[in-house]
Amino acid sequence: MCKAINANNHSHLQDLSYIKRAALISDKSAGFTSPHPNFGCVIVTPSVEVVGEGYLYAQGTKPAEVLAVEAAGERCRGATAYVNMEPGDCHGDDTAVSALVQAGITRAVIGMRHPLQHLRGNAIRALRSQGLQVDVLGEDMQSKLVEEARKACLLVNLPFVHRAASRVPFSVLKYAMTLDAVKYMGHFRQCFLDGIGKIAASSGHAAWISSKLSRNRVFELRGRSDAIIVGGNTVRRDSKYHEHHLCPFGNKVADPRLTARHGGGHMPIRIVLSQSLDLPEEANLWDLSDVSTVVVTQRGARRSFQRYLASKGVEVVEFDILNPRDVMEYFHDRGYLSILWECGGTLAASAISSGVIHKVFAFVAPKIIGGKNAPSPVGELGMVEMSQALDLIDVCFEQIGPDMLISGFLQPIPDLTPTIPSEDETFAIDPTVAPFETSIIFFYKTWDLYGAFSNFSPHPIQMPDEDGNYVTWFSVEHYYQANKFIGVSNPLAQDCIDKIKSAKSPEEAARMGRLTQRRQPHLVRSDWESVKIDVMYRALKCKFSIYPHLNSMLLSTAGSVLVEASPHDLFWGGGRDGEGLNYLGRLLMKLRSEFFGESSAASENTCIAL
């Protein structure tokens, strides 16, 4: 069975090898861009030669399939395309599918169906309707080796799969602990840490438990995360040592900035969960020069301190009742895929009990610190018998320098196969079909339904510069961010414009523009607040005028209210509770009305001509 040859002369084992390759390269931008669905594509000729590869660099950039086709050129004809996940064009078009079809690809091997219901099966049906042979792992191809390859495809998109299945971001609990009283129960696939291992000395000092090699691995984990969560105890403890202790080099021992330490790479935001808001005024986390901080607290807690944080630029989010589940649902709505918890034992126990922790990374150092009152990694869970212990799934043991890294899942990987539709099912939502009645259409991330309405969608536009010459911008977001600095007579402003224009992704352009605006406000044009709505409107009008499929999608929403579902942007978005001004949604609805008016006028003119 494993040596069977398919129509393109590729053996079963070769198919699996190339699909694993697609999964591997799909992860190449990890740490350099914020987490996003990972797509990889490998194109192989009938003579078994790899002629093209590509991967999605970031949300809003060229699809992996397009990049692979561009690399392969004419050699695509008659070739097989291997993709780790079903193409998911969320932007109102079928760019990836069209690229494969027009290039002459005759067969596609797909590692897994798309996790999102409104996309699942769409690309597979489209490819088959164009005459391509499409094989899906676990459906058209089955064996133990197939399951291993399919698992590789699942693992590389684990945050995306978990988010789609559970409606919360994929959460990893990470901690470093000493060897004190670590107990292993049963065989190696089951692991129980009894909580007596220490994450700090009795005094609270915790730098450093693990080795430099282990800390480098932590930086990698941070770079793969949208955000890092700590609790109030961690901030208070670290700030205490920030004030009173110095390391041998004269630097402060603790109070970490929680950086990813990846030159030019992705910087996750910092999230502080504190019910009482009993936090120090001096903390590195309030320094927003490199990355933002969000403080989540109970409604009404320390209003004066909230005002202080706001004056520093720190975002404060209040909950009526603060619990990890509600917090994770909130950050799911903000579009986050992956969150790293680097909190103390009290918050860790609460997060585990709430069912929001999916995976654990425990760095165990060959040290003994002792101390009756020394903190442990996980606080009270209410368990009184060893039989109640939580067993990790798919446990891995890895030696990192002198330390041992133990990792495993607290929750199983979601199984998508039960929700796979049959070929004749057509339940997938079509965003070009108008709703039957007035409704609210929310949009936000580019991979979600109506992702084309996002400024981050990969639709280049051409806009005139100050001299009337047309300039191409990779996205609306590129153009909008650069306009903050246009016309400013300072070489640094022009340098910023050039960097934004050449940014590889819309998210990178947004980060550059926002960071420069915050750090160097003197570079922002003086009339920005009065012209920014018009700048956005002109960019949106260009985008929805030059792409017919986007125009059709916008017109299909007639009668519906369009709302950018950003819970934190109260100007362009709708806000968490509808308190936002929703200017992006308003501009899109204004354009929709104008396009309808133009269509009606054109229709009347046609009738008159007849």
Query: So where are the chain's domains?
Result: 12-156, 168-409, 440-605
Which CATH entry fits the domain spanning 12-156: 1.10.3720.10, 3.40.190.10, 1.20.1250.20, 3.40.140.10? 3.40.140.10
| pLDDT of res. 276 | 93
65 part of the active site: yes
Asked whether the predicted pLDDT for residue 424 surpasses 50, the reply is no
| pLDDT of res. 256 | 55
Model confidence at 419, in pLDDT bands (50, 70, 90)? very low
293 vs 285: CA distance, rounded Å: 7
| pLDDT of res. 92 | 61
The overall average pLDDT reported for the chain is: 84
Q: What would the two tokens of residue 375 be?
A: 């903190």
Question: Residues of the chain with pLDDT > 70: what percent?
Answer: 81
378 vs 370: CA distance, rounded Å: 16
Beta strands in 205-358 (DSSP E): 227-231, 269-274, 293-298, 315-319, 338-341
Asked whether the predicted pLDDT for residue 391 surpasses 60, the reply is yes
pLDDT, tens digit (0-9, with 9 covering 90-100), for 327-366? 999 999 888 999 999 998 889 999 999 999 999 999 998 8
Which is catalytic among the residues 49, 53, 65, 148? 65
C-alpha to C-alpha distances, 11 to 110, 149, 514, nearest whole angstrom: 15, 15, 50
For the domain made up of 168-409, the CATH class stated in words is alpha beta
pLDDT, tens digit (0-9, with 9 covering 90-100), for 130-148? 999 999 998 877 788 999 9
Asked whether the predicted pLDDT for residue 248 surpasses 50, the reply is no
Taking alpha carbons only, the member of 537, 536, 477, 472 closest to residue 506 is 477
438 vs 125: CA distance, rounded Å: 30
Model confidence at 255, in pLDDT bands (50, 70, 90)? very low
| 8 A C-beta contact, residue 42 and residue 25 | yes
Q: How many residues does the chain have?
A: 610
Which CATH entry fits the domain spanning 440-605: 3.40.50.300, 1.10.357.40, 3.40.50.2000, 3.40.190.10? 1.10.357.40
C-alpha to C-alpha distances, 484 to 60, 479, 540, nearest whole angstrom: 21, 9, 16
| Mean pLDDT (whole number) for 463-467 | 91
pLDDT, tens digit (0-9, with 9 covering 90-100), for 364-386? 988 877 666 666 788 777 766 77
pLDDT, tens digit (0-9, with 9 covering 90-100), for 508-522? 999 999 999 999 999
C-alpha to C-alpha distances, 412 to 175, 390, 511, 522, 525, nearest whole angstrom: 21, 13, 34, 51, 51
pLDDT, tens digit (0-9, with 9 covering 90-100), for 481-510? 999 999 999 999 999 999 999 999 999 999
Model confidence at 420, in pLDDT bands (50, 70, 90)? very low
| pLDDT of res. 207 | 57
372 vs 290: CA distance, rounded Å: 38
| pLDDT of res. 264 | 60
